[in-house]
A and B are shown apart, each in its own frame.
Chain A
Amino acid sequence: EDKVVQSPLSLVVHEGDTVTLNCSYEVTNFRSLLWYKQEKKAPTFLFMLTSSGIEKKSGRLSSILDKKELFSILNITATQTGDSAVYLCAGTDNAGNNRKLIWGLGTSLAVNP
């Protein structure tokens, strides 16, 4: 059965710290891995990774995929209180239209001032 497992489930850090969130996956005919940030409401898209070893970066956030070891990490440097959220990752198979996302349960990040 396909699955995505995130760790840790929750994390508390202080502003300025660097955090690494982990996502491992077992997805038949794996195509891509996506990261989302969920604050109070809608999950918002962060990154989509399809190639191994190529880092994607947006400001203080970056992510990389390892298709050999079947995992991805999301790094946040110089954390701010606004980074407090649940971070979700999801894997897709090779159906070709992103209709089947296999979701992890998320990592709840709290950044204290």
Chain B
Amino acid sequence: NAGVTQTPKFQVLKTGQSMTLQCAQDMNHNSMYWYRQDPGMGLRLIYYSASEGTTDKGEVPNGYNVSRLNKREFSLRLESAAPSQTSVYFCASSEYRGSNNQPQHFGDGTRLSIL
């Protein structure tokens, strides 16, 4: 009963390093999302993918890139990490059924620190 799986769970980077956060879901959902969560700022959408083969910017996309590798996997890449990107990152997925909204289901998060 895995749901949404994120790796790694923790990571420490130096400024300027790059890394990719991985996310996979086994619920056959069409849509996937990347959020960051910071104290006092709540959850903010970075990028989303409405369906396989499409990606769109969210509220805070600068400094990030994404790849929807297939229906299951959606990765988030930091090309040149900055201290401002220190955060907890959550991946989520949801089913898309025409006009019917379906709730998003979240992974356990990746705690990322940039020194």
Residues in chain A within 8 A of chain B (CB atoms):
31-32, 34, 41-45, 48, 50, 88, 90, 92, 96-101, 103-106
Contact = CB atoms under 8 A, between A and B. Distances in A.
Contacts, number: 59
Interface of B: 4, 31, 33, 40-45, 48, 50, 56, 90, 94, 96, 98-109
B42 A98 contact: no
B106 A97 contact: no
Contact of B43 (A50, A97, A100, A103): A103
A104 B37 CA distance: 12
A106 B41 CA distance: 10
B43 A88 contact: yes
B42 A99 contact: no
Given A34-B103, A104-B42, A105-B40, A97 B50 contact: yes
B108 A98 contact: no
Given A98-B31, A104-B42, A32 B101 contact: yes
